[in-house]
Amino acid sequence: MKSPLEFFFSLGDKVTGGDPRRKADFDYYMLWIMFFAFTTVLVSNLVDFFNNLDFAKLGWSFVMFAILWFQYYTLKTAREARKYSRLMPKKDEVEKVESPEEMMNSFKEEDKNG
């Protein structure tokens, strides 16, 4: 039986299937969702501040703006990573690497032949 930590860290592979392209796409879309969620919270706090002059809402607006600032650059980086992941070969296009036993057998065959 898997430990809870092993189960937790295997969840990502269930979503992406271990494919770097799918992971880059998933990360990119999730960051957009988070960006829109924090933007909604920022707008909501600003509306509450201007309607009620609640300075606590203005403080939270600054916090949301700071989060959005860093989120923007994270989103920009994820976009670049997604673009570069398109340059990598697909998971099933990668050449099969020889096993160590096959490599050793090829050396033994060379010794016999020459």
Q: For residue 107, how many other CB atoms are within 10 A of its CB?
A: 9
Q: For residue 44, how many other CB atoms are within 10 A of its CB?
A: 14
**Cα 48 from Cα 56, distance rounded (Å):** 10
Sequence spans of domains, the chain: 17-88
pLDDT in tens, the chain (114 residues): 678 888 887 887 777 777 778 888 888 999 999 999 999 999 999 999 999 998 999 999 999 999 999 999 999 999 998 888 777 766 665 566 777 787 777 777 777 765
Structure tokens at 29: 């879309």
